[in-house]
Amino acid sequence: MREAEQSGAGRTPDRAGARELPGLTIRSRDEGDRTLVTVCGDLDLTTDQQLQCALRSALLRSLRGLELDLGGVGFCDCSGLNALLNIRRQALKDSKKVTIRHVSPAVERILEIMGALPLFTPDTAPDGQRHSDGALNTPPPVDGHGIDIRTEVVQLRRALQTRDTIDLARGILMAAFVLTPEEAWSVLVTTSQNTNTKLHLTARQLVDSIRGGPLPATMQEQLSAAVTQVTGARETAENPK
């Protein structure tokens, strides 16, 4: 569904849009040379394509980029992260910027786990600082928004690479234990936390184990416990006493 605000005499039309989807609401409006996109609901496999389509549309009509209000997102997994990373990559190609104005705990958590949060926040590092040896730190090349292009490209590439491994690991869990995408994501995160291993390394070890590599005994134990936990929670929800 798309809505447009009607303009009165002598007023410039204010481009705006709203898209209602099962479990997801996306609204956008222009604010000067940027477009504010407000997202409410769950970001998962069922809403991934719709979200990417809405973000691409908003980015296309914006002059300088997007500001995202994700304060109303109750759940976010790798599918939601994929959409955010993909739109950030497209914006970078178009010399535009995507920043997050408001973020929910669910989105903030996955961005921090992936180390991708700096991609969506303004660069506030001061220029001209001196190193401990007294040498002046020459500011790196920046784009029209003052963003360190080299750092941004490296961060984005790293996030995209680890995302693919995590997606593959989640698919393995779904197939091996008959889990939903949300359950597989929960198992992966819980195993990572309980073994004190970075999420992308946990995913890599799981993928390597399918290819014949050894899975550490501690990780295997925690993985089994996490699967038991999520399947037990599902059975309790389906068969309440």
Tokens at 144, concatenated: 């029209």
pLDDT digits (tens, 9 = 90+) for 177-216: 888 888 888 898 889 889 988 888 888 888 888 777 788 8
Q: For the chain, what's the residue count?
A: 241
CA atoms lying within 13 Å on the CB side of residue 112: 8
How many degrees, rounded to 5, is the angle at CA 56 between CA 30 and CA 71?
A: 65
Compute the average pLDDT of residues 27-52: 89
Residue 103, CA distances (Å) to 35, 71, 111, 159, 184 in order: 16, 4, 10, 18, 23
Query: Does the model's pTM come out above 0.85?
Result: no
